[in-house]
Amino acid sequence: MLISLFKKLLIVILALLAILIILGVLSHKSLPDNTQRTTSTFLPVDPNSPLAQKILPAMDQRPGLSALYLLDDSHEAFLARLTLAASAQNTLDVQYYIWHDDTTGHLLMQSLYQAAERGVRVRLLLDDNNTDGMDELLASVNAHPNIEVRLFNPFMQRTMRPLGYLSDFFRLNRRMHNKSFTADGLATITGGRNVGDEYFGFGSGVMFADLDMVAIGPAAKDVVQDFDRYWASNSAYPAENIISQSQNQPPFDTTPDSDPNTQQFLQELKNSAFVTQLREGTLPLIWTKVQLISDDPAKGLQKSKEADSVLAHIAPIMQHTQHELLVISPYFVPTKLGKNLFTQLANDNKRVAVLTNSLAATDVIPVHAGYAKYRKPLLASGVELFELKPMATVTTKNHGGIIKSSGASLHAKTFIVDNKTLFVGSFNMDPRSASLNTEMGFLFDSKQMANYLAENMKKNQMQYSYAVTQNPNGKLHWQTEEDGKILEFDDEPHSSLFSRFGVWVCSLLPIEWLL
């Protein structure tokens, strides 16, 4: 009886596989010729531009150093991008993994379009994994003579994208996770934020707690030169070669949004202290040497060298921790290699503390399953684990990075070594960032910024996170504080039975390399 059922199940599985293979073959479309595209590179800084006149004198006084400003506030992060777009006179080079066509995404797209109307050359490079439903918008933006849009690792199947994975999985599984927004080659923003309402504190849904850096000077030049590598890479295709262009292409909508919530949001931003400091040139900048670390874009085609990867550059920095390593990563799957590194540090009496998402806060259950199996060995070695609560309020310099939120999810990616050396970027501590996606970030020394982020992580830690511990019998235990009382949990706190079942199922699958 059981043998008969097994045979029937096997036949069904094989039939489904055959159907999928046939669908993949029938729906496959080859990539277009990419050799005839136009070439362009970053433009020299115009010393007469308004942005240059504000920045160059300060740079001349500090040769070799870059000015940094931490954007841990979601509203400031949005304002900073709007300001760079409005200030640009010559170029805007913009690179993102996700760009939503929601309120903030549309406002930022309008700012790029308005810059192009002023004569600014705009180059927009988007990973194609998250542009579903945006073909008409991107075509209308790309139609402007001063704007060029390119798509990284594009899907040739535009209407039913998942079919593309059936015939081109190993290319489409590799994505460009980089994020940068650079004006006139002088000022840039890079870090963990994509473009969308949940990253900028707009709306009432789940908000991401995130980090970006404004960088002025040599670091910005490094970013725009790195942008050129990606722009010219074999994975970057002109949008017009991928997206069907209509002869009656509707123009891009530049009319101001009359929605009351949007108008209130913009008015609040205009009145912020950040805008005043920005306008008056009184932002508290930190001047230091900054190293841009970025993957070779050939990683998107599995043609890069491991020695050139972001991981190859940052792993030795963590390995040489003398006193304390603090890691903040929303998707934390250390693998055996990372587990061994953190365990060795802890065994050598170095403090290692990790903040990641709890199951109730994460937006990717399979990644949590990948992380969960490393909790016990890490805890046994002395590594401290903290998991963000789903209703956390993340305090920032001004009003707080998460407002009107129905939930919180960690999205910042940083680590701090010995309260001095920091990395802020797009890199998650997981196999996907290490081996599949391209990543970037800044590595620099700043005791002031390290102190600020470390204190922010430690301050009220018991209120915004669960401390994970392990009893002598190996049982995991979660502890937090609410309303002055200590709460304890023996199962993943505030998680549903369905999500815990999902973690269990995913833990059985050999998918760690995909996470």
Q: Any idea which residues carry the catalytic annotation?
A: 177, 179, 184, 411, 413, 418
**Rounded-to-integer distance, Cα 223 and Cα 294, Å:** 9
CA 413-178-445 angle, 5° bins: 50
First to last CA, the chain: 38
Give buried/exposed letters for 24-43 (b at 16+ CB in 10 A, else e).
beebeeeeeeeeebeeeebe
Instruction: Give the three-class secondary structure for 309.
Output: coil
**Rounded-to-integer distance, Cα 500 and Cα 368, Å:** 10
What type of residue sits at position 138?
A: L
The encoded tokens of residue 227 equal 């942008």
From the list 187, 196, 179, 185, the residue with the least C-alpha distance to 214 is 187
Helix axes 74-87, 273-280, angle to 10 degrees: 30
The encoded tokens of residue 324 equal 């304390």
**Rounded-to-integer distance, Cα 244 and Cα 199, Å:** 30
Q: Compute the CA torsion angle 259, 264, 267, 268 (nearest 10 deg).
A: -150
**Rounded-to-integer distance, Cα 91 and Cα 341, Å:** 42
* DSSP E strand boundaries for 221-285: 236-238
What type of residue sits at position 25?
A: V
Structural contact between residues 98 and 130, judged by C-beta atoms closer than 8 angstroms: yes
Structural contact between residues 439 and 237, judged by C-beta atoms closer than 8 angstroms: no
Query: How is the beta sheet containing 414-417 ordered, strand by strand?
Result: 290-294, 440-445, 421-425, 414-417, 324-328, 351-357, 384-388, 465-470, 476-482, 485-489
**Rounded-to-integer distance, Cα 177 and Cα 97, Å:** 5
The encoded tokens of residue 60 equal 């001349």
CA 329-368-152 angle, 5° bins: 65
Structural contact between residues 198 and 261, judged by C-beta atoms closer than 8 angstroms: no
* DSSP E strand boundaries for 35-179: 66-71, 91-96, 121-127, 147-152
